[in-house]
Amino acid sequence: MAKVTVDGIPGLDGEYVVDFGYFTNRELHRIKLETGLTLGELYEGFERSDNDAIVAFALVAFWRAGKDGIEPLVWDAKAGEITFDFSDEEQAQADADADPQAAAPTGVAEPVSATDDGPDNGDASSSESLDPSGSVPRRIGMAS
């Protein structure tokens, strides 16, 4: 799980806990429409702190939290108002490596509405198949 923190975007400020170990087809399509990035470019761009990739990950967090139509707010925000913290995700991966039976199933962004985005297959290995580099930075975002 990753924590996305927003500070300075009215209506979006707060923290969102997100599992970026998977994307839905709709999310990937929306990411491509918004940023032009494909899945293969998404993680690479994020690791290089590419702004379009940062926005794409943030949009996924907001979409999963039930916030729609916020794309203009995110694009018009100052750089650095959205940051990512993957330290919990790295600890969860280390715990899963130590005891695979104790790994918790994946989830969606929080805060969430009462809608169900579909079944969670609990496949903790999906993040490995999506992230070809095998590593994700702890914090991403530009200082404001």
Checking if the pLDDT of 104 tops 50, the result is no
Mean pLDDT of the chain: 77
Largest CA distance in the chain: 43
Q: Do 85 and 139 contact (CB within 8 A), yes or no?
A: yes
3-class SS at 119? coil
pLDDT of residue 29: 97
Q: Do 94 and 36 contact (CB within 8 A), yes or no?
A: no
Q: Which of 17-21, 48-52, 138-142 has the lowest mean pLDDT?
A: 138-142
Mean pLDDT of 13-41: 96
Partners of residue 16 on adjacent β-strands = 4
Mean pLDDT of 109-130: 44
Listed residue (125, 112, 35, 19) closest to 66, CA to CA: 112
Listed residue (144, 11, 18) closest to 71, CA to CA: 11
Beta-strand relationship, 139-140 and 82-85 = antiparallel
Structural domain for 43, as ranges: 2-140
Number of domains in the chain: 1
Q: Do 25 and 117 contact (CB within 8 A), yes or no?
A: no
pLDDT of residue 112: 39
